[in-house]
Structure 1
Amino acid sequence: MKRLLIVTTAFFIVLSSLAYAHGPTRKKVVITRDIAAPPDAVWALIGNFQDMSWHPAVAGIEGEGGNAPGATRTLTLGNGGKIHEKLEKYDGEKHSLFYRIEDVDVAVLPVTNYSSWVSVKEAPGGSTVTWKGAFYRGYPNNDPPPELSDQAAVDAVTGVYESGLDNVKKLAEGGS
């Protein structure tokens, strides 16, 4: 009986220590914009995986494979940073695409294991664009530095989505 008590106690000590050793949790960001333009017009602006000229942070893009699953692109940002992405799913009729970041320096975007969905749906008065992503922070271990924390990752992705969708709205609604 004493041995069972010792084994049980040891088990719970090990189990509780694992809870404290837990690493980062997957984070999600979902941003939407209502746009006073039909879905086909908005999709024509943002639906080409090989063209992100609509995003103000993107200075250039190189890619191959068009809009076929497996297509790749490398985004060059205005600050010189590069993001390498791969298209996983594309449905032009449903106005949706799904892609992953294959490689990015966490100094450029403080995330790892990033995947993202972009979709355009019909809505009263035009369209609703949804850009959502799931990712882990840039630092995989406990006690990350502030620039690689959960909050830094969420803030960075939110900023990318907000600025991109704000510009899509401006362009689609006829702003310059």
Structure 2
Amino acid sequence: MGDADARPVGDGRDRDMEGRARNARPRDGLGRPLPYGADGVERQPEGVVRSPEETVVEAQALLGAGKPFHAHEVFEDAWKSGPESERGLWRGLAQVAVGLTHAARGNVKGGARLLRRGAGAVREWGVESGEPRPYGIDLGGVGEWAVALAERVEKEGGVVDAGVEAPRLRP
């Protein structure tokens, strides 16, 4: 059920038809809530089951468009719907995307921490699984990119351009 189906209830919070909390406010390209009625970017639908190939292609397109928050949601769907053995891979990629989101929002500390956490997770998953390029994803390259961006963000501070700084998942 999408956010379009969310409605305020007695406690003033947006809820879906089953009563689960859902924020129906529009969001900007970095996932920040905007005032009700503002023009936002289209949200990623939640709970979509995609093939790994579809996940990588869609997430890369969103990253390249400067929408790492939305790419994170695509990775999150993969980690929640995919095989247990791959959850660490998709969770790590989601953390990298959220790290880029925070860096693009100017949150130096949170961005750097999540970039490093995601880099460690994807590298660890690659080592443990023996698959350094699952689905063509260059885990070593993504990890190096994330650590380098974390270091640069901490050193220079400020806001990064999410589209310009987006990682290449595949070489």
**TM-score computed with the length of structure 2 as normaliser:** 0.26
Select the structure of larger CA radius of gyration: 1
* Greater strand content: 1
**TM-score computed with the length of structure 1 as normaliser:** 0.26
User: Which structure carries more relative contact order (alpha carbon 8 Å, separation 6+)?
Assistant: 1
